[in-house]
Structure 1
């Protein structure tokens, strides 16, 4: 396994982030928010600048954390919005997102990055769950099939993230898409913490039974990338899931990471802690200690 961290979790200034990542002994970085926008929006000049900085600090890009299919309505009439105004995301319909995917593929080639994150479509503001129904899965697969045509032409791998703000918040649900489409250019971006914090009312009953350990066992053959963050659940707050430094929350990462090591996981473990800088650095050091 290889260690990585999303650069904007450290600093919104690219060079400052890369310098800190190098200082912590990490060799890989994941890119989402760069130059004040999402990575798939980068111009050729911005890509050249990134490449210069990456070479300067001896870093490899583990994944392009694009926002393709996030703020993209799954059905006509769906209204979608950001859960957090500081999360940079492209907008528009399927056609527009596919255009951005073409640009993301070119960026990935320039930065020698094999994988590009995509989302299973933001759940709408104007409809109530549960989401991830058979009808939803049919529509999601139809749209991702169009994205796969581009990925195959460009020889890039799409990694589908289970996201709590999407139609498919649990890994068990994104697994359905990969199994249906059966294409080597589509793998999973597994985020166990996202599965943990999925809103139960949004998830069909059939997907509410697996533990994170069960998810890992089932998803493992299809995993191309992993995000790590931690939460503590406190029912006493209106928003009960609280971000914590890796190892300080409820998720039993010792067991999950040990299982990944036993299985010989060779892809990236990429931190997305979503906490203050000091706790992000603490998370980086804890993950490094485990690695050692």
Structure 2
């Protein structure tokens, strides 16, 4: 397995992050927040600068963590907003996101990244859940078929992430979309912690039965990238899912990584710890230990 980490989890300044990541012995990074914007919004000049920095510190890119189809209304009248102002994201209608998918493809090829992260549409502020109805799936699948076509034309792979702020927080839900689209240019980015913290009231009952290991077993043939972070559930808090340093939460990563090792998984597992920089560094050490 290839160890990786999202650069802005270590430091918002790309060069500072790369320097620290190199010290930890990592040689692979994922790019999201760069130069105060989401990676797919970077100019050609900024991409050239990124390439120079990657070469300087001997880093390859495991994934272009774009925000395509995140802040994009699934239906007319849906209102979507950011859950975290430090999480940079592009906005606009679906045609805008399709254009940015081509832009992300160009950037991925320039930086030698094997795939590009996309989302199954942010759930709206003005419409109550649960989300993931049959109509939701039909609408998302149409959009994903278009993105898969862009991927095929551009010679890149898009990876769909299960996200707790989207219509598809569970891996079982994104798996359904991947199977329906059935194109090699659309694969899965699996985030087990996102499945773990999916809000039960927002998920249809039919997607609540699998354990994380059962989810991994079903998703495995379609996974091209994995995100890693940890949570502890604290019901007394207003926001009960508390980010923790890897290994200090409740997710059984040992079982998940044992499965991946036995399968010979050779693609990237990329840290997105969502803790302070010191905690991110400690999470890198602990990922080394687990692997």
TM range, normalised to the smaller chain? over 0.9
In structure 2, what is the equivalent of residue 195 of structure 1? 195
1:116-155 paired onto structure 2 within 5 Å: 116-155=116-155
CA deviation string 1:235-279 (max 9, x = no partner): 111111000000000000111111111111111000000001111
For residues 51 and 132 of structure 1, what CA distance do their matches in structure 2 show?
39
Where 1:188 maps in the other structure, the secondary structure is strand
2:185 aligns with 185
- SS of the equivalent of 2:224 reads strand
Per-residue CA distance 1:38-59 (angstroms, 9 max, x = gap): 0000101001100000000000
Counterpart secondary structure, 1:99: helix
Distance in 2 of aligned mates of 1:281 and 1:134: 42
Question: What does residue range 1-150 of structure 1 map to in structure 2 within 5 Å?
Answer: 1-150=1-150
CA distance in 2, matches of 1:141, 1:7: 31
Normalized against structure 1, the TM-score is what? 0.99
Shift, 1:148, TM fit: 1.3
Q: So what's the TM-score if we normalise by structure 2?
A: 0.99
Structure 1 runs (4+) deviating above 2 angstroms are none
Unmatched segments (≥5 aa) in structure 1: none
Cα displacement (A) at 1:288? 1.1
Matching residue of 1:159: 159
Does the CA contact (< 8 Å) of 2:190 and 2:225 recur in 1?
yes
User: Alpha-carbon deviation of 1:15?
Assistant: 0.4
- 1:289 & 1:246 partners in 2: Cα distance? 11
- The C-alpha deviation readout for 1:41-81, integer Å capped at 9, x for no partner, is 01010011000000000000000000000000000010000
CA distance in 2, matches of 1:253, 1:124: 31
Q: d(CA) in 2 for partners of 1:239 and 1:114?
A: 35
Distance in 1 (CA, whole Å) between partners of 2:43 and 2:66 is 14
SS at match of 2:92: coil
Q: 2-side partners of 1:86 and 1:276: how far apart?
A: 13
Matches for 1:222-261 after TM superposition, within 5 Å: 222-261=222-261
Report deviation, 1:107: 0.4
- In 2, distance between residues paired with 1:237 and 1:220? 34
Task: Note the residue ranges of structure 2 that are not aligned, 5 or more in a row.
Answer: none
SS of equivalent residue, structure 1 residue 249: coil
Aligned residues: 291
| 1-structure distance, mates of 2:213, 2:2 | 20
Q: Secondary structure at the match of 1:238?
A: coil
Q: RMSD value over aligned CA atoms?
A: 0.6
Q: CA deviation at 1:290?
A: 2.2
